[in-house]
């Protein structure tokens, strides 16, 4: 019995030493994780400040990359169909783009002129609507005259004219941004390939290019379908400014999740104060565009595009807020493709791969609990074991 006791004591000491070593390893791994999170946080803050400071250059460049990725298949198709120099194909593509943008611009200009011309009519319709509402509430003993008086003091027509004048005053800024985008796009298109059959790039750059090109091309076609179909709906319902509402639906469809909701809600106030609008027209003006967005965005787009970006919806929403804070509306338009490109970059390094999995919503992929002595862990009261990769024995 004495021999057995002397043999058990060293075994217990070795078990305790091994348990202490494991816990020491786990604490060091936890320290490394805290250091990594702190370093990434500092890097994100510094990078965000730099990107915000470089907004005048980065926004046109990012938009030019998007435009060039949309026009690149058109340029390659021309070169393959009719052998021609690449500069000529780029020039023809840009001329076609100018023609389409000019046509849409003329339609939008006529819609804005119509809005300015009819603004007095809309103001009178609002007053009539408020008078009818006040009469109904007055019959039920509810006072409404103060709100009607406040509305008359707002001078809706003057406010609308001021907003319109402000929009036209920003035309120079829009023209400057358009010029820079087109200039960058020309150089990007000319610098792609000299001609012949397109050869996909390899490596990380190739994955980024193919994924972004596929997303932007499909998103552009889907957005065009949304814009045309919603315009036809508004025309059939005899809604004023149908072309303007269709263009807004096309444009806002590039903003994930939030854009279609905003595009559906924007026309409602103007439809509500139109003289010839009935209750059925108002219901259809809300239900039909909503149904179109559901069809194009939630039924057709996932089948055609699949999971090309591999981003979780929560990640998309957070990145939408982040890039919107940095670059405003252009940042919101490009939030999804920029985040997808960053995800591919994060996947290339072991130290940033967990952030790539986090953006994709794969919180448990590749992570396994470090398998130690369960009995020792329970004795020490460790209820939150660190996570280790089984192959590399490193903290993930």
* Structural domain includes residue 264: no
- Name the average pLDDT for the chain: 76
pLDDT bucket at 288, cuts 50 / 70 / 90: very high
Q: Is the pTM value of this prediction over 0.75? A: no
Is 181 among the domain residues?
yes
Contact 73, 217 (CB under 8 A): yes
**pLDDT of 69 above 80:** yes
Q: What is the pLDDT of residues 154-163, one digit of tens each?
A: 555 566 666 6
In a domain, 330, yes or no: no
| Residue 57 reports pLDDT greater than 80 | yes
369, containing H or E segment: strand 368-369
Give the Cα separation of 120 and 126 in Å (integer).
10
Query: How many folded domains does the chain comprise?
Result: 2
Q: Which residues of 200-209 are buried (b: 16+ CB within 10 A; e: fewer)?
A: eeeeeeebbb
What pLDDT score does 143 carry? 58
Residue ending a domain, among 175, 192, 209, is 192
Does residue 151 lie in a domain region?
yes
Q: Report yes or no on 47 lying in a domain.
A: no
Q: Which pLDDT score is estimated for 378?
A: 39
Q: Would residue 249 count as lying in a domain?
A: no
Instruction: Answer yes or no: is 285 within a domain.
Output: no
- What domain range includes position 396? 366-396
- Residue 289 in any domain: the answer is no
From 159, 192, 225, give the residue that closes a domain.
192
**pLDDT value at position 144?**
56
Provide the pLDDT for residue 375: 40
- Burial classification of residue 33, based on how many CB atoms lie within 10 Å of its CB (0-12 exposed, 13-18 middle, 19 or more buried): middle
Tens-place pLDDT, residues 244-273: 899 999 989 988 888 899 999 988 888 887
Which of 169, 192, 215 is the endpoint of a domain? 192
């Amino acid at each position: 019995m004495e021999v057995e006791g002397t043999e058990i004591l060293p075994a217990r000491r070795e078990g305790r030493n091994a348990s202490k070593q494991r816990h020491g390893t786990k604490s060091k791994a936890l320290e490394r994780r805290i250091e990594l999170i702190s370093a990434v946080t500092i890097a994100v803050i510094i990078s965000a400040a730099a990107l915000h400071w470089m907004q005048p250059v980065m926004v046109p460049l990012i938009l030019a990359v998007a435009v060039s990725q949309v026009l690149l298949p058109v340029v390659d198709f021309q070169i393959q169909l009719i052998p021609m120099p690449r500069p000529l194909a780029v020039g023809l593509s840009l001329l076609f783009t100018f023609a389409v943008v000019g046509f849409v611009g003329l339609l939008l200009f006529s819609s804005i002129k119509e809005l300015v011309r009819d603004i007095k009519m809309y103001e009178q319709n609002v007053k009539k609507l408020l008078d009818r509402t006040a009469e109904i509430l007055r019959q039920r003993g509810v006072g409404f005259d103060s709100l009607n008086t406040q509305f008359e003091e707002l001078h809706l027509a003057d406010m609308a004219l001021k907003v319109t004048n402000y929009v036209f005053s920003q035309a120079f800024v829009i023209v400057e941004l358009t010029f820079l985008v087109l200039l960058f796009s020309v150089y990007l298109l000319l610098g792609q390939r000299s001609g012949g059959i397109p050869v996909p790039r390899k490596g990380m750059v190739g994955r980024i290019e193919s994924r972004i090109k596929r997303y932007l091309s499909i998103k552009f076609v889907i957005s065009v379908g949304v814009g045309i179909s919603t315009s036809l709906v508004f025309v059939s319902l005899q809604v004023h400014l149908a072309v303007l509402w269709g263009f807004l639906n096309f444009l806002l469809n590039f903003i994930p999740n939030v854009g279609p909701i905003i595009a559906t809600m924007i026309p409602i106030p103007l439809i509500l104060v139109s003289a010839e609008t009935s209750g059925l027209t108002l219901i259809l003006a809300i239900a039909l565009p909503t149904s179109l967005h559901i069809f194009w965005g939630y039924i057709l787009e996932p089948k055609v595009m699949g999971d090309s970006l591999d981003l979780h919806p929560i990640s998309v929403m957070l990145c939408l807020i982040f890039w919107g804070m940095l670059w405003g509306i252009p940042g919101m338009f490009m939030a999804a493709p920029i985040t997808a490109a960053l995800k591919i970059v994060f996947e290339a390094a072991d130290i940033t791969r967990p952030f790539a999995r986090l953006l994709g919503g794969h919180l448990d992929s590749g992570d396994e609990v470090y398998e130690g002595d369960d009995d020792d862990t329970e004795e020490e009261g460790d209820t939150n074991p660190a996570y280790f990769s089984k192959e590399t024995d490193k903290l993930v």
